Amino acid sequence: MKLRNTISSVELIEVEMPLVHPFRTSFGVEKSTYSILVKITDSEGKIGWGETTISKTPGYSSETNETAWHIQRDFLLPLLQELLKSNNSPTIQDILGNWDSVRGHEMAKGGIEASVWSLFAEQENVSLGKLYGGSKTQIPTGVSIGIQTDLDKLIARIGSFIDKGYQRIKIKIEPGWDVNAVKRIRQEFGDIKLMVDANSAYSLSDHHIKVLKDLDRYEMMMIEQPLAYHDMLDHKKLQTMLSTPVCLDESIHSPHDARVALEYETCKIINIKPGRVGGFANAIEIAEIGGKDVVWCGGMLETGIGRLHNLHFQSRSEFNIPGDTSGSDRYYAQDIIEPKVEVDENGFIQVPTAKGLGAMVREDVIMQYTTRSLGIKF
Ligand code: OSB
Ligand code: MG
């Protein structure tokens, strides 16, 4: 696929969206989501939207809203402008290749890349899901639940999501909030689809290995990123000690990382977050490398724009494991898209079929949450 009409402008819009519940993980508490939305307009006035899925602090990833703003404004957009002077109908691969001189900064790249896919869908008059190679009409989904102040609150919160239909429960864990929580969940809810995400809070110390082996007895779907955020070796050792599949999140930044992790049996499962791997072209490649039962789609508490992109991506056939894409209400009092994303009583989300993102972007609502913006004429 190639760009049909040339790009006339790109706007970076940083938003701060308050979460309805603070989200506590082993690396900190998030009270709001900070995203850089990317609005790309072509010479016919067609508009694409992307979301840069960064946080305020470098606790999950080394990127933050400040680093992404800097890299997008000072490097990625000038490089894109330069490319368009010599090639006015680039492909996604041309755009990514042109950014090779910028190392890392996957999320900064992914936000702009997503806006180009969205513009392609508008120009081609097709749904974004189709461009992402998907054909499913609905996707199975789950919810990721933060660390709570006590176990009763955790049980109540899980109960409310099970009542709403969510197919799978993921809880965040850290030393001191792990085996006790999982044991209680199994007592209260029996054999629900359950998994834990440690966000790198454990090591291969004797004490932690004991905890991880205790967790192994609860027949969970997987344990996500228990060890260091950049590790590929200790997770491999850990996987040989556990029957529960190890899932990598933070350690995977590219299709190459995914190949290393799977070929070296560092993990059995990969959480694909399109932003973390530099956008949807890489995310698709990883989905193809892993296939069914191996890959699933995570989330970064995205606003409606990133959520729609993830939804379309998950209409691909590989996604049979319920993901972390929850309904808009689970995150925000008011989403920036209409209609908002909803999970039905069987834990499925319908994939929009209309062209492009398949929902309306509420720029008036975006304005209420905007903390800064920058328009660049191409
Ligand atoms: O580790 O998967 C994670 C949110 C922010 C940062 C990291 C993670 C998460 C989640 C929430 O687990 C997923 C979501 O609901 O979007
Ligand atoms: Mg994770």
Q: Please tell me the distance from the alpha carbon of residue 231 to that of residue 25, in angstroms, as a whole number.
A: 19
| Residue in 35, 63, 144 to alter for ligand 1 test, most ligand atoms within 8 A of Cβ | 144
DSSP letter at 340 equals P
Closest CA to 250 of 10, 42, 62: 62
How many of the other CB atoms lie within 10 Å of CB of 254?
15
Distance 117 CA to ligand 2 centre (A): 25
246 lies in the same domain as 310: yes
220 lies in the same domain as 84: no
In a domain, 355, yes or no: no
From residue 211, how far is each of 172, 183, 208, 331 by CA, in Å? 15, 12, 5, 31
In a domain, 255, yes or no: yes
Distance 144 CA to ligand 2 centre (A): 9
DSSP letter at 177 equals B
In a domain, 1, yes or no: no
113 lies in the same domain as 141: no
Of the pLDDT bands very low, low, confident and very high (cuts 50, 70, 90), residue 122 is: very high
| Whole-model pTM over 0.95 | yes
In a domain, 190, yes or no: yes
Whether residue 324 has its Cβ less than 6 Å from ligand 1? yes
Residue 136 CB-density burial (10 A; 0-12 exposed, 13-18 middle, 19+ buried): middle
In a domain, 142, yes or no: yes
Cα diameter, the chain: 63
For the stretch 180-194, pLDDT in tens is 999 999 999 999 999
pLDDT at 340: 97
Helix count (H) and strand count (E) of the chain? 13, 15
Question: Which pair of tokens denotes residue 70?
Answer: 């800097």
Closest Cα to atom 4 of ligand 1: 300
In a domain, 111, yes or no: yes
For the stretch 134-184, pLDDT in tens is 999 999 999 999 999 999 999 999 999 999 999 999 999 999 999 999 999
52 lies in the same domain as 195: no
Can you give the residue range of the structural domain that contains 151? 131-350
In a domain, 207, yes or no: yes
Distance 90 CA to ligand 2 centre (A): 33
Distance 302 CA to ligand 1 centre (A): 9
Ligand having the closest approach to the CA of 21: 1
36 lies in the same domain as 171: no
> Residue 190's domain is classified under what CATH number?
3.20.20.120
How many of the other CB atoms lie within 10 Å of CB of 230?
11
25 lies in the same domain as 114: yes
Q: Please tell me the distance from the alpha carbon of residue 21 to that of residue 302, in angstroms, as a whole number.
A: 14
Domain count, the chain: 2
Beta-strand (E) ranges in 147-245?
169-172, 194-197, 223-224
372 lies in the same domain as 318: no
Beta-strand (E) ranges in 203-266?
223-224, 246-248
170 is an active site residue: no
In a domain, 206, yes or no: yes
Asked if residue 221 lies in contact with residue 168, where contact means CB atoms within 8 angstroms, the answer is: yes
278 lies in the same domain as 366: no
33 Cα distance to chain centroid: 13
294 lies in the same domain as 215: yes
For the stretch 332-371, pLDDT in tens is 999 999 999 999 999 999 999 999 999 999 999 999 999 9
Whether residue 300 has its Cβ less than 6 Å from ligand 1? yes
310: three-class secondary structure by DSSP = helix
